[in-house]
Amino acid sequence: MNLQFSEEIVEKTVTFQLEGKIVSDIDTTELIEQLQKKIDGEEDTLIFDLSKLTHITSTGLNFFVRALTRTRNKEKKLLLNNLQPNVAKLFQISKLNEIFTISSDNKIDETQNKK
């Protein structure tokens, strides 16, 4: 497994700290289970801190698109925070930076929240 993660909950916001790489579906299996629990729970904002995520492939992009879809379906917010340059570049190349709320300070600016 290339990906490790931890989570922290403050009030109704859960932050997932991702570390390592996302290169296959196996890397995200456990994370998807935890994410779904939070989406089904009381939390209304989900933050992915990607400061320690060093590499993703199209599988990683697919994971984030599925996460965004699931959170939107439950009328919750999702924020990608602290993207490493190579990860940010992949989001830009794929134009996914246009549909995600991306930040560097753990705050969602409601005027920029894409929905």
Q: Supply the pLDDT for residue 106.
A: 55
Residue 31 neighbours by CB under 8 Å, 6+ apart: 3, 5, 16, 18, 63
Residue-level pLDDT, tens digit, the chain, 115 residues: 699 999 999 999 999 999 999 999 999 999 999 999 999 999 999 999 999 999 999 999 999 999 999 999 999 999 999 999 999 999 999 999 999 999 986 555 443 444 4
Q: Supply the pLDDT for residue 115.
A: 41
For the chain, give every domain's residue range.
3-103
Q: Supply the pLDDT for residue 104.
A: 81
Nearest to 97 by CA among 105, 107, 87: 87
Q: Are 63 and 78 in contact (CB under 8 A)?
A: no
Task: Name the residue type at position 13.
Answer: T
Q: Name the 3-class secondary structure at 109.
A: coil
Q: How far apart are CA 21 and CA 98, in angstroms?
A: 23
Q: How far apart are CA 34 and CA 32, in angstroms?
A: 6
Domain 3-103, CATH number (from 3.30.750.24, 3.90.550.10, 3.40.980.10, 3.30.70.270): 3.30.750.24
Q: How far apart are CA 40 and CA 37, in angstroms?
A: 5
